[in-house]
Amino acid sequence: MPINTTTKESLFPSTTYVPVQQALPAALVITTATQAGEVRGDAPYLKVPYVSQDVAAGFVAEGAVITEAGPALDELLVSTAKIAVLTRMSHEAYSSKTADQIVSVSLRRSLISKADAAYVANPAGGPGPVGLVNTPGVVAGGTLAAGDSLDVVAEAVTAVEVNGGTPTHLICDPASWGVIQTLKQATGSNLPLIGAPAETTERKLFGLPVMVSAAVPAGNLLVVDQAEVMAAVSPLAVAVSQDVYFDSDSVAIRATFRVGWGLPRPDRTAKITVTV
């Protein structure tokens, strides 16, 4: 009988590909960026064409010749990097459905945490794409501290709009959101500026949803226009092998996905430093 991939599964470990939107729906790169495509490998780029300057329109008299003009076109190159995690379970533990589910949740949480931290604050030079707050050209929105007003946030939102953006999300870390929650309506007042805690059902500021992630480094608040953040995200690949740890009767579980992002017009994103 010939040997083929149906002979023994342990010889040909399976890899499962799950759409990242389904596997990691809470990742900031999924919820606050535009999915522009997919790239496989460190070298290739996702090329995103965009209009850097619109054609100027004007009034024309009846019957007059319309002056010809063309938009200024440009191209954004989005590179990607692989985020990976590998863990080992004993064969007995892997056979337990409960343990398997717990580990699966842990792996996904680890991937989301790494992706969120990089998406917001990854340093220039990598590894991985540069984070939004470190992207050259992003609007510097000032500083927010305990006891301040939300004027600095309003000004950052306005700056994005002045530059042609339409803010869709605010992104911050839990400590920064905690500072915002402690702001009061007036000096000496006990009334929260953003509403009574008992009546607050969702996190919003100026009508924009606030995405809070514990993976975001403390002190960062971003104003984001989802249409102005282009992302390249691959499916989540989960592979299981019973061979690599053969001598310990253990199972290897590997999860990977490739991710990258870029800002075609950085001045349509704003960053605020929060004193926490």
Residues 6+ apart with CB under 8 A from 209: 168, 169, 170, 202, 203
Torsional sign, CA 14, 19, 22, 28: positive
Residues 6+ apart with CB under 8 A from 157: 167, 206, 208, 223, 270
What pLDDT is attached to residue 222?
97
CA angle 142/147/148 to nearest 5° reads 30
Q: How far is CA 111 from CA 27, 108, 128, 188, in A?
A: 9, 5, 14, 43
What pLDDT is attached to residue 26?
77
Regions of the chain short of the pLDDT cut 50: 1-9, 12
Residues 6+ apart with CB under 8 A from 139: 156, 159, 160, 163, 223, 267, 269, 270, 271
CATH topology of domain 9-52+68-274: hypothetical protein PF0899 fold (3.30.2320)
pTM recorded for the entire structure: 0.81
pLDDT tens for each residue of 134-157? 999 999 999 999 888 899 999 999
What pLDDT is attached to residue 100?
67
C-beta of residue 175 within 8 angstroms of C-beta of residue 276 = yes
What pLDDT is attached to residue 16?
56
What pLDDT is attached to residue 2?
42
Which stretches does DSSP call E strand in the chain? 15-18, 34-37, 46-53, 72-78, 81-90, 139-144, 169-172, 204-205, 208-212, 220-224, 230-233, 236-241, 250-262, 270-274
On the question of a cis peptide bond just before residue 192, with omega within 30 degrees of 0, the verdict is no
Q: How many CB atoms lie within 10 A of CB 263?
A: 22
Q: Collapse the DSSP code of 154 into the 3-class scheme (helix H, G, I; strand E, B; otherwise coil) and give the result.
A: helix
190-196: long-range contacts (C-beta < 8 A, 24 or more apart)?
Answer: 193/149, 193/150, 194/150
Beta bridge partners of 163: none
Burial of 83 (0-12, 13-18, 19+ CB in 10 A): buried
What pLDDT is attached to residue 5?
43
pLDDT tens for each residue of 17-72? 555 555 566 789 999 999 888 878 887 888 888 787 778 888 999 989 988 887 78
Q: Which residue do the tokens 């911050």 mark? A: 172
What pLDDT is attached to residue 180?
93
C-alpha span between 54 and 51 (Å, rounded): 6
